[in-house]
Structure 1
Amino acid sequence: MLSILQAAGWPIWPLVLCSIVALALIIERFLSLRASRVAPARLVDEVMAVTRASLPTVDTVNKLAENSSLGLVLAQGLRTAMAEPRITDANLRASFETAGRQAVHDMERNLSALGTIASAAPLLGLLGTVVGMIEIFGASGASSGTAGANPLELAHGISVALYNTAFGLIVAIPSLAFYRHFRARVDAYTLDLEQAAERMVPHILRLTTSRR
């Protein structure tokens, strides 16, 4: 592998860097976008059960906010209701929307970088191939005085230059696949957050009404 990298020339090293960064981003997103960290399955039901009779204490809300992204959204709605006993439906929904946008922004962190690598890696590979071809034909012309030097040497040089294109595709294809996978997962979690907020709005309004 090291000999291939050395033969491919300097243009392949940006691709090596992209592959390392892409792998790190994929691992980080896999860990960050787990269901237990974003939207636990039974969290809404548990919150509604705990707050069936009244709004929770501040400590309970703080623990909920630390639970997950969904917990942070629900906690924001509860905090708004606790701070404003006569809160309206529109204000409560606005509070949930603000927290939801922040949660979605956090889930999308680093996805743009992964998408950029998926788009740029083939271009970097093509650039490396073009640079390699220029060097090959330039060296052949300078050494022989013609453009048709030893065909075997040219074929070997072209195959080495194509390493860049191949490596660029090797980096780009998995990066694009994981980018699409994470985008779909974020979209699914966003829907979960919206549905949870829709369930909590009438529940919280009922609690605030009973306190008046």
Structure 2
Amino acid sequence: MDSLIQNISATDTSEAVQEEIFSIIDLMTSGGTGGNIIMSVLVILSIFSIYILIERISSLNKAKKGNPDFISKINTLVNNNKFSEAISICKEEDSTISRMIEKGLKRNGKPFNEIHSAMENQGKLEVNKLEYNLTNLATISGAAPMIGFLGTVIGMILAFHDMASAGGNVDVELLSKGIYTAMITTVAGLIVGIISYISYNFLLSKIDKIVFTMESASSEFLDNLQ
């Protein structure tokens, strides 16, 4: 008997969850053609922002990896005038720092200012690679809430248009449902915008740490050359 009651309770719970899921889906897709287009755009933006986050985290983690003794080895080789061997180690390391140092090593014998300038230019290129797609993420964080609000405005206009068309026979329940449905695009837009904004700042903080490491390595290398 107890098992029967438990099975009935579990079935009721499962059905309640399914009804809740279906009601949310129905709510998201019941905004008419205009609302559905807005929701589709927001879904695409959310997928794109998540892709950028995952791809950038993977790339930045690779950029952070490297031999902690790399600069010490390079400086030791430079002090022993083994520039060719130092360049070979840079090629093997193949990191943001090694590519920047390699640029300086290839300017061996040139004036110090020229070496510094070459490394600085390479450093800017490396930072630009690290910041790939970050502008798109920033754009999504600002555009998504506005797109969601646009969907709400469209929904509100349609709801009040239906009310005006009904004349004196205004169905309050139908009107409130139309307004409620229209508001879902604003919520969706804010969710996508908040996630994108947090992701942008998270990635920016990781890039700042990598840039700091690059600057420290560059200063150590240049100080050894002088």
Alignment TM-score > 0.5, same fold: yes
Picking from 40, 47, 53, the partner of 2:66 is 40
Q: Is the 8 A contact 2:103 2:118 kept in 1?
A: yes
Q: Is the 8 A contact 1:39 1:70 kept in 2?
A: no
User: Is 2:31 the partner of 1:4?
Assistant: no
State the identity %.
26
Which structure is larger by alpha-carbon Rg, 1 or 2? Answer: 2
Distance in structure 1 (CA, Å) of the matches to 2:185 and 2:39:
6
Aligned length: 196
Picking from 3, 13, 16, the partner of 2:43 is 16
Q: Is the 8 A contact 2:28 2:181 kept in 1?
A: no
Q: Is the 8 A contact 1:124 1:168 kept in 2?
A: yes
Q: Is the 8 A contact 1:72 1:99 kept in 2?
A: yes
Shift of residue 41, structure 1, vs aligned partner: 6.2
Distance in structure 2 (CA, Å) of the matches to 1:136 and 1:46:
71
Distance in structure 2 (CA, Å) of the matches to 1:63 and 1:145:
78
Distance in structure 2 (CA, Å) of the matches to 1:160 and 1:13:
15
5+ long unaligned stretches in structure 2: 1-23
Distance in structure 1 (CA, Å) of the matches to 2:138 and 2:214:
24
Where in structure 2 are the equivalents of 1:155-166 lying within 5 Å? 155-166=176-187
Aligned residue for 1:7, secondary structure, equals coil
Q: TM-score w.r.t. structure 2 length?
A: 0.79
Where in structure 2 are the equivalents of 1:180-191 lying within 5 Å? 180-191=201-212
Which digits, 9 at most, give the CA deviation of each residue in 1:53-106, with x for residues without a partner?
Answer: 222335434223x2x11121111111222xxx2x22211111110111101111
Change (3 A) 1:5 1:132: same
5+ long unaligned stretches in structure 1: 206-212
Distance in structure 2 (CA, Å) of the matches to 1:55 and 1:119:
49
2:96 paired residue number: 69
2:214 paired residue number: 193
Which digits, 9 at most, give the CA deviation of each residue in 1:139-160, with x for residues without a partner?
Answer: 2222x124x7221111111111
RMSD: 2.0
Distance in structure 2 (CA, Å) of the matches to 1:4 and 1:19:
18
Aligned residue for 1:56, secondary structure, equals helix
1:153 paired residue number: 174
Q: Which amino acid aligns with 2:59?
A: S
Moved over 6 A (4+): none
User: Is 2:77 the partner of 1:55?
Assistant: no
Q: Which has the higher contact order (CA 8 A, sep 6+)?
A: 1
